Amino acid sequence: MRNLIRLATSVAIALTLLLCSAAFSQESDVELPDEPLAAEGDELEALEGADMVIGLEPAADEPPAVEVPLPTHVTVSDLPNDDGTGLVVEFEKAAGETEALTYTVSVGAGPDGPWREIGSFPATKKWKEEVGHYFPGFFWFQKGRADMSSRFHLFVIQDQGDNVPLETGIEYFVKLTASLDGVSRDYAETLSAAPAEQWFDTGRTNVLILAVLFGATVLYFIARARRDPNLFIRKISGLDAVDEAIGRATEMGKPILYLNGMSSLADLSTLAALNILGRVARRVANYESKLTVPCRDPIVLTVAQEIVKAGYTDAGRPDAYNADDIFFLTEDQFSYAAAVCGIMMRDKPAANFFMGYYYAESLILAETGAGTGAIQIAGTDASTQLPFFVTTCDYTLIGEELYAASAYLSREPLVLGSLKGQDMAKVFMMVMIIIGTLLMTFGVIFIKDLFKALG
């Protein structure tokens, strides 16, 4: 009994002490400072230190004072990876930025101006991660970071037509002004930098590495093909049908129509079409058939004449070559289509070849050819025209098959070796796509920028 009384007394004392300590701690939370209130001037100084402008205390009927936040960590530097005609202004976003706040960038020849306004933008625009130039240390590993609390604005000063062009090596001064509801404030410091030209675009380092690697792979397989010429290349039905089409035309005693596409010689698909023309010309000469090549581009015309002539000569039939069969029609798209359709309707060629790049006229040409009953083989890398050719032609070389055609027809080991190299690059790309998909799924997104040209 005595023990019970002792225990109850101890618990009561403990509870009393606990309540007392809780009461004291609450009191200390609301304790007023010991120091007296700061003077009005001290308060303004403190606010200036916070990079704010506060107007005079408003009267009861006046609008509230406008606070113009100014950014911090402003820098001006040479624009990387350019031809020496650009500068870049970079600054950390100010606390309390809103859409109503605008930044204006001005350029002057001296620290005191005269200033020329280059551009103005709202505070919600021109973020560093949105600009396409390569800024070391930012892209690739930081672009996709989750923490965006310390974002940076980035403004590129470069001649955009109306602006003053910047000259390489000359120092320019830059002034940054923030404006909000008609109140403007300049950044305290006037910064300067001189544009400089670069001799290597670091933003394209990844492109260079991949291009060199791919080129080296192609050259390696070409060298390997020299040692071991027995290379397996998958069957391409469209190219196997070339002989069939030429043979059919010979049997029927009708001509073969060959088009090199609508592009100029600067287009690789036109070069690929001309390569195939050389192989086709040699076969046509062997079969003693007639080859008609209407051209759209004057330079393609002269090259096509040379190629066909060489093809006939190689086949031992230079006498069968007629320069008049490879002729110029017109450079106009639909006039060319109309003229070719006319040739198809009048001459009724037994085989039509549509190789190279095509635009909207592809269906007009191929459908007219199908109407004449000709065997038709098309090859293009124009992805928008592929469905039309697939629908109307007997065989279609899709995309890369056009470029492989010359190697396939010639069966030269050296040229076939390059196809092997191409296939290896495709395997690499497929592996990277799978790895990239997995990494992106798990939130690792830097791999996306590894394959992007930033320049």
Query: Which of the residues 412 through 441 are near other proteins (CB under 8 A)?
Result: 412, 414-415, 418-419, 421-422, 425-426, 429
Toward other proteins, which CB reaches closer, 10 or 384? 384
| HSE-CB for 205 with a 13 A CA cutoff | 11
Which of 68, 154, 218, 293 is close enough to bind other proteins by CB under 8 A?
Answer: 218
Which of 214, 248, 317, 447 is close enough to bind other proteins by CB under 8 A?
Answer: 214
Toward other proteins, which CB reaches closer, 123 or 273? 273
Window of 16-24, 93-101, 114-122, 359-367 that interacts with other proteins by CB under 8 A: 359-367
Cα–Cα dist 439/234, whole Å: 33
Window of 22-30, 47-55, 58-66, 410-418 that interacts with other proteins by CB under 8 A: 410-418
Cα–Cα dist 307/311, whole Å: 6
In angstroms, give the least distance from the CB of 33 to other proteins: 60
In angstroms, give the least distance from the CB of 30 to other proteins: 59
Which of 112, 334, 434, 435 is close enough to bind other proteins by CB under 8 A?
Answer: 334
- Residue 301 makes contact with other proteins by CB under 8 A: yes
Encoded one letter per residue, x for contact with other proteins by CB under 8 A and - for no contact, window 364-403 reads x--xx-x----------x-x--xxx-xxx-----xxx-xx
Torsions phi, psi for 431 (to 5 deg): -60, -45
Name, in order, each residue with C-beta under 8 angstroms of 449's C-beta and a sequence gap of 6 or more: 139, 140, 143
Which of 52, 207, 320, 447 is close enough to bind other proteins by CB under 8 A?
Answer: 207
Cα–Cα dist 242/353, whole Å: 9
| HSE-CB for 329 with a 13 A CA cutoff | 22
Encoded one letter per residue, x for contact with other proteins by CB under 8 A and - for no contact, window 156-195 reads ------------x---------------------------
In angstroms, give the least distance from the CB of 404 to other proteins: 7
Which of 9, 160, 335, 437 is close enough to bind other proteins by CB under 8 A?
Answer: 335
Task: Identify residues 302-331 at the interface with other proteins (CB under 8 A).
Answer: 302-303, 306-307, 309-311, 313-314, 324, 327-330
In angstroms, give the least distance from the CB of 371 to other proteins: 8
Toward other proteins, which CB reaches closer, 179 or 205? 205
Question: Closest Cα to residue 118, out of 155, 70, 154?
Answer: 155
In angstroms, give the least distance from the CB of 93 to other proteins: 29
Window of 15-23, 114-122, 245-253, 407-415 that interacts with other proteins by CB under 8 A: 407-415
Start-to-end Cα distance in the chain: 90
Toward other proteins, which CB reaches closer, 69 or 311? 311
Toward other proteins, which CB reaches closer, 151 or 426? 426
Which of 198, 240, 434, 451 is close enough to bind other proteins by CB under 8 A?
Answer: 198
Contact 175, 118 (CB under 8 A): no
- Residue 347 makes contact with other proteins by CB under 8 A: yes
Cα–Cα dist 102/123, whole Å: 5
Tell me the two tokens of residue 268: 């690789």
Toward other proteins, which CB reaches closer, 71 or 80? 80
Encoded one letter per residue, x for contact with other proteins by CB under 8 A and - for no contact, window 257-296 reads ---------x-x--xx-xx--xx--x------------x-
- Residue 208 makes contact with other proteins by CB under 8 A: yes
Name, in order, each residue with C-beta under 8 angstroms of 247's C-beta and a sequence gap of 6 or more: 287
Task: Identify residues 57-116 at the interface with other proteins (CB under 8 A).
Answer: 81-84
Toward other proteins, which CB reaches closer, 128 or 279? 279
Toward other proteins, which CB reaches closer, 186 or 201? 201
Which of 173, 404, 408, 454 is close enough to bind other proteins by CB under 8 A?
Answer: 404
Number of residues that bind other proteins (CB under 8 A): 87
In angstroms, give the least distance from the CB of 107 to other proteins: 20
